[in-house]
A and B are shown apart, each in its own frame.
Chain A
Amino acid sequence: MSNYQLPPYGRIVPRSFLAAAAAVFMPAALYAGVTIHFAGDSDVDYISRPNDASATLQLFQQYWAAKSGDVDVYMIDVIWQGIAAAHATDLKKYVKDDEIKDFFPRIIENNTVKGKLVSLPLYTDAGVLYYRTDLLEKYGYKEPPKTWEELAEMAKKIQDGERQAGKADFQGFVFEGKASESVTCNAIEWVYSYGGGTIIDPDRKVTINNPNAIKALEAAKNWVGTISPQGVVSYGEEEARNIWQAGNAAFMRNWPYAYALGQDPKSVISGKFAATVVPKGGADGKNAACLGGWQLMVSAYSKNADAAADLARFLCSAEIQKRRAVDLSELPTRPEVYKDPDVLAKNPWFANAVDILNNAIARPSTVTGADYNQVSTVFFQSVNKVLTGGESSQQAVTDVERVAKRIVK
């Protein structure tokens, strides 16, 4: 690693970049912003971020509004491109077209706002369904559920059985119901899987107020208190994973990062679970995986833009992506890495991942641009109210429609 060269310039990577690479092997929650110094002993500093994406955005927006040069490289969500565009350096100035071509074109397209390459894809994400292979076998199921209806039925049977066997806290299905970006990702999968669209379609038409979307929200509402704990409405990714990883859930909807953590030899569920596509809504529904992922952006206010761009390129390189895929089960953003035998040996399900990614659904961040957060906020708050029983599904989709129409008009 120590003489890694940045293609195509052939520049030798400074030692501090290797330290940064080591830092980014920590779980995603621990880093976010990187500051580059050229003086003193330490060359690169890391700023940790809140583990909640919505809270992270609030933090970053304060840096951006103040035009602060304190942070050089930001790790930003796939949906923040429109919000971040005004505060980003155009990476096309630093990254040659040949190099850009190596990334998934869809992600590069997403990260390009009005011709400006806002950020480089560090890793991508797609919602997956985790299931306990041992429990499915124990209760006589050969395959993971194909539809949400099947999932509800299986989850109920396993939950009843396990609770009778003395595990009082056992849950059928855990997901992220917290009123934050987390539930937006979950709910857009439910809605899309029932044929209810993606809130706003790419042609700027607000589609959320439709019977299929209502059907999807009703289905999810019925899980709470039956196959999912009441408290699921306050769970983010880590709260759901804590229950899953303690062996207290039969199914979990989460992101790929949970795979490596669950398969850790010290984990009680190691070797007892697998990952698959998120179910369809009914037999004629569609499989839906919410597209996620994190990107590296160079601040427009950075005083070290050259070094910062080099660091971003280095951290997004194939070598680093391979190590992240092996160690953290994070999905690479370069198709070539999926063919790597070491990566596939550690994550056998990555063989289908390219397929899942190609069919992944994007949240409506491209059409809403800088106002995405407002659409997502009304959506996640309304969905959360439906889950807690505070609002009807019809009322929820009407509320989302009203706000969304005000924004895309």
Chain B
Amino acid sequence: MIKEIDLYARQKRLAWFLIMPSVIVVLLIIAYPTIQVLVYSLLKYKLDGVTPPSFVGFDNFAFVLSDPDWWSAVSNTLIFTVVSVALESILGLGIAMVANSKFKGRTLLRVAILVPWAIPTVVSAQVWRWMVNDIYGVVNIVLTDLHILPQKIAWLATPATALPVIIAVDVWKATPFMALLLLAGLQLIPKDLYEAGSIDGATKIRQFWAITLPLVTPTLLVALIFRTLDALRVFDIFYVMVGGQGNMATMAVYNQQQLISFLDAGVGSATSVIILIVIMLFVIMYTRFSRTSFE
């Protein structure tokens, strides 16, 4: 009995010893900055190198939450996230199923779909910005030449047209990522399930709903978490394509403006904390949902 406890304690010690490096690294690179941001968020702290920081309690949070620009940033981010992730999932699944079937040039297709994902976002966003330019942009020229549009449109001038354009660019860019992850999921589905399905007389559509979708769902959920978190933190596409326009900011652009343009570490950190909370809500939602679907 005594020996057993001894062994258990020794194993426990060994376990701690083995995970210690990871714990230290996590504390250094995640816990320390996070705590620092939490502290800053309670200070009036200008990074101008002159004014000393002072404690102001929750004033910074009150400022952000009462700023109409913050709420328009939240709404832009949520619309962007929901629409772009939904479109990317549907299109990504479609492309993954095509890429998973056997046909000539399959390898070439798999490489080709990755091209938009491989281009740095700043570069592709700038290219798209020129393409949708109101006077010289190729998009306007093609659409007016084909008489689809009666006249050229300044796509990025108002939120009503800019948001759909930005969502389209993000879908163009991120769908390949979605497709690649889902392709991996599809390849894990045993072929004999489909054979059994065909023998039982299930149509292709029935096979999709009864076999493909349920079995690819775990992969889909992981991909959804990745994309949703990415989309909630979106910065580069908006900054490059409509940077500066007050009513076209996202949460991250708003944060950057407070911290970098205004050098306000207090309000900037408070914004970061609020964004962290919003993202945590999404993570909790996803983990709850994935648990109920598997357990």
Contact = CB atoms under 8 A, between A and B. Distances in A.
A234 B245 CA distance: 9
Given A65-B263, A370-B50, A388-B158, A230 B244 contact: no
A389 B158 contact: yes
Interface stretch (B21-29, B118-126, B149-157, B184-192): B149-157
A305 B55 CA distance: 36
Contacts of B245: 179, 234, 381, 384-385, 388
Given A381-B244, A384-B246, A390-B158, A230 B260 contact: no
Best-buried of A64, A179, A373, A382 by chain B (most CB within 10 Å): A179
Contacts of A230: 134, 153-154, 157
B134 A86 contact: no
Given A54-B244, A178-B244, A65 B49 contact: yes
A374 B47 CA distance: 14
Contact of A390 (B135, B244, B247): B247
Contacts of B246: 179, 381-382, 384-385
A67 B49 contact: yes
Given A54-B244, A385-B246, A374 B260 contact: no
Nearest to B258: A374
A83 B257 CA distance: 16
A198 interface: no
A231 B158 contact: no
A248 B134 CA distance: 14
A377 interface: yes
B21 to A, nearest CB: 31
B116 interface: no
What DSSP secondary structure best describes chain B's contact surface? Answer: loop
Interface range on chain A: under 10, 10 to 19, 20 to 34, or 35 or more?
35 or more
A87 B48 CA distance: 9
Contact of B260 (A61, A67, A178): A61
B40 to A, nearest CB: 14
B261 interface: yes
Contact of A243 (B50, B135, B154, B257): B135
A3 interface: no
Contacts of B154: 229-234
Contacts of A385: 245-247
A374 B50 contact: no
A20 to B, nearest CB: 27
B49 A390 contact: no
Given A64-B49, A67-B49, A388-B157, A180 B244 contact: yes
Given A65-B47, A87-B49, A384-B246, A231 B261 contact: no
B270 to A, nearest CB: 16
B262 A86 contact: no
Nearest to B132: A231
Interface range on chain B: under 10, 10 to 19, 20 to 34, or 35 or more?
20 to 34
Contacts of A389: 158
Best-buried of A87, A178, A384, A390 by chain B (most CB within 10 Å): A390
Nearest to B153: A230
B158 A229 contact: no
Nearest to B242: A234
B244 A231 contact: no
Interface in B236-280: 242, 244-247, 257, 260-263
A390 B159 contact: yes
Nearest to B257: A377
B133 interface: yes
A67 B157 CA distance: 38
Given A64-B49, A384-B245, A390-B247, A373 B262 contact: yes
Best-buried of B133, B156, B244, B263 by chain A (most CB within 10 Å): B244
A62 interface: yes
A300 to B, nearest CB: 9
Interface string B211-244: 0000000000000000000000000000000101
Contact of A233 (B133, B157, B263): B157
Contacts of A384: 244-246
Nearest to A229: B134
A354 to B, nearest CB: 34
Contact of A86 (B49, B157, B242, B260): B49
Interface in A358-409: 370, 373-374, 377, 380-382, 384-385, 388-391
Nearest to A239: B133
A242 to B, nearest CB: 8
Interface in B178-220: none
B261 A377 contact: yes
A92 B225 CA distance: 59
A57 B257 CA distance: 12
Nearest to A371: B262
Contacts of A178: 244
A352 interface: no
A172 B154 CA distance: 16
Contacts of A201: none
A86 B135 contact: no
A48 interface: no
Contacts of A229: 134-135, 154
Contacts of B49: 64-65, 67, 86-87
Interface of B: 46-50, 69, 133-135, 153-154, 156-159, 242, 244-247, 257, 260-263
15 contacts: A58-B261, A61-B47, A65-B263, A86-B50, A179-B246, A230-B153, A233-B158, A234-B157, A248-B135, A373-B261, A385-B246, A388-B157, A388-B159, A390-B247, A391-B247
Given A233-B154, A381-B247, 13 more contacts: A62-B260, A64-B49, A67-B49, A179-B244, A179-B245, A231-B156, A243-B135, A370-B50, A377-B257, A385-B247, A388-B157, A388-B159, A388-B245
Q: Which 10 A-B pairs have the closest CB atoms?
A: A231-B134, A381-B246, A231-B154, A230-B154, A179-B244, A179-B245, A65-B47, A86-B50, A233-B157, A388-B158
